[in-house]
Amino acid sequence: MSHIVTSLPELEALYGEVNKASLLKEADRLVPEYRALIEASPFAALATRGPRGLDCSPRGDGPGFVRIRDEKTLLLPDRRGNNRIDSLRNIVQDPSVALLFLIPGIGETLRVNGQAVISVEPSLLESSAVEGKPPKSVVVITVNTVFFQCARAILRSELWNPARHVPRESLPSAG
């Protein structure tokens, strides 16, 4: 086990100092550049934690489906899905959340860390309706930190390269 990193000093010695530019990109609120990315994004991964463990679930709709109430608050409607509600269960027990926003064709991602509550306020549900169908709830997220994540992982994976797309029939179905 001598090849296992077990302490922060070991980890920091292995990787060196944090790139100063990456620290400068971090904000405690939604600056105009970060707002623009959220408004353009049709997809986000929502990470939560709770007593039964971690959860990371996909969330998506039209660009801007995560609405911005103000520079410290995001509104994430909970659209119909498989009804597992793992993320929501976790939020009820531990409000810590993280979001990773993706925009098709764009390499950079946006990361948001914050605290969440689940709202069933009628006016909020109605204002979040799509095609006349309101969500059952809206996750209201108070932003703690937000920052750009560089494009390296997306570029290396060639995620947006159509030549790398996998034919659906080549993989097992979820059903």
The candidate with the shortest Cα–Cα distance to 59, out of 19, 5, 99, 23, is 99
CA separation for the pair 138, 75 (Å, rounded): 6
Contact 117, 95 (CB under 8 A): yes
Separation of alpha carbons 76 and 30, rounded Å? 15
Q: Report d(CA 160, CA 83) in Å as an integer.
A: 29
> What is the Cβ-side half-sphere exposure of residue 12, based on CA atoms within 13 angstroms?
5
Q: What is the largest CA-CA distance in the chain?
A: 59
Task: Place 25 in a pLDDT band, splitting at 50, 70 and 90.
Answer: confident
pLDDT at 174 over 70: yes
Alpha helix positions (H), the chain: 8-15, 20-24, 32-40, 86-93, 122-127, 152-157
pLDDT of residue 175: 73
Which residues, 6 or more positions from 88, have their beta carbon under 8 angstroms from its beta carbon? 78, 118, 137, 139
Number of Cβ within 10 Å of residue 95's Cβ equals 15
Q: State the Cα–Cα distance between residues 50 and 89, nearest whole angstrom.
A: 8
The domain limits of the chain are 20-154
The answer to whether 141 touches 76, Cβ cutoff 8 Å, is yes
CATH fourth-level superfamily of 20-154: Electron Transport, Fmn-binding Protein; Chain A (2.30.110.10)
How many Å apart are CA 132 and CA 9, to the nearest integer? 54
Q: What is the pLDDT of residue 1?
A: 62
Contact yes or no for 126/135 (Cβ under 8 A): no
Lowest mean pLDDT among 50-59, 79-88, 97-106: 79-88
pLDDT at 111 over 70: yes
